[in-house]
Structures are given as C-alpha cells and as structure tokens.
Structure 1
Amino acid sequence: MRRSTKARLGAVVAVISLGTALASGPPAAAAPTGGSDVRVTCNAGSVCGWTAYNFGGLGTTSAAVASGQCKNLSISVRSAINHSFSYQRFWTNSNCTGTSYLLAPGESATIMGAGHRGLGGF
C-alpha cells in the first residue's frame, strides 16, 4: 500500500507541475534592441541600414561593397551599422553621388541626416 501511495503522490505532483507550466504560457520573446526591425540581422561582414533614426523602421542588410563600386539600396537609410571589415560610404543618391556619410569598420550611426540611397566602398 505504501508504494502505491507514493506513486499516486508522484503522479499528482507531476500533473500539478505540468498544469503550472501550461498556465504560465511560453517564455516571452526578447524585445529587439534599439527599436530595429527584427527581420534584419547585421552579421559580421555585413552593412545594415534602417529607414528611421536610432535603427528604427524598415531595415536592409548588404555585403560590404568593394572600393570604387556602388550599390543601389532598396530603402532610404537614416541610421546604419558597418559590421564589415572595410570603410563603407552611404550616399544620398542611388548612383553614389550627392552627400556621403562614411562609416569605419565596426562603426554605427544613429542619425545620418537625409536618407541615403547608395552604398559604396572606400
């Protein structure tokens, strides 16, 4: 009789524990930092930009652009992170003309002024 009482008590404890876990729900997902678009991850070697200041709004990611080359961006960038290993220059025009903003490797800019539509290597 003693064994079955222990077995029942163990089963009751297991059911209560499971009920408590189910009632509390899944763990909350971590909120993105800096208000960035969670769809954009800026990995090593990448250059990332956002449509709003302070890494907010829509985002885009790109491989670093080689020196002397130009890449048109799909969005107008107002804040950026350079996780590449070379200097990258954001240009106000999509053909890498106009006013530029230079970011060193590992550097970020929360407020770049006017939107930038071109990305070039330096």
Structure 2
Amino acid sequence: MIVSNVSLSGCAGANSALCAAVGDGHQGGGSYRSTLSPTGNLVVAVCLGFIGTFGLLNNLLVLILFCRYKMLRSPINLLLINISISDLLVCVLGTPFSFAASTQGRWLIGEGGCMWYGFANSLFGE
C-alpha cells in the first residue's frame, strides 16, 4: 500500500478526500506540501533512491542474462521476464517522480504529473 506524504492546505475532516482530488486553481486550492519533516523527506528520498537504483540494475541484469543464455528461455522464465520488464518500467517511469518530490518536500510536476504517476504505477503493476 502506498501512503502519500503530501497534504493540501485547507483540507480537514470529511472533506479531505475531496480536497486531495483537487489541485492548485481548483475548488479547495492547495499547495502539495509534504507533511514530513525535512529529515523524514530525506529518509524517504534515500529509500526511493536505493529502490530505484537497485531495481533498475537488477532488472537490467535479469534481462541481459535472459537474452544472453538460451538455456534460460523457458515458459516459466518468460513469466519472470514479464515481471522484470514491468518492474523496470516502474523504476524508470515512476520512481524518479517520487524521488524528486521527496528531495524537495513537495510534488513538483502538478496535477497532470500526478495523473501520469498514478497511471504508470497502476499500469506496470506496482
């Protein structure tokens, strides 16, 4: 489960779900500021950096080994390659946005970027 560390100013109580769905310039307004301390943002950024880096390297290694050694080309391993490609795409198209947001303590790419982030992570199975 992914728990957001971003809150919108002016959102409280029963309307928080409604406020979370709107961005700057919309009903309720908002600033997309983090509720974490600077140290908390740093810890999250370091974790996301490790996840992104190791995920990228490990999944690339799996793909390289699968392509290089023909004896690894079995139906079961093909399913593992599918998972590896999906995870690689999350590492390339999803994790950098979270990492950048954590380093700055706020969401950087607006409402459209938020939709892209959610779409990419849902599509690639994260």
Q: How high is the TM-score relative to the length of structure 2?
A: 0.22
| Greater helix proportion | 2
Relative contact order, higher structure (CA 8 A, sep 6+): 2
Q: How high is the TM-score relative to the length of structure 1?
A: 0.23
Larger Rg: 1
| Greater strand proportion | 1
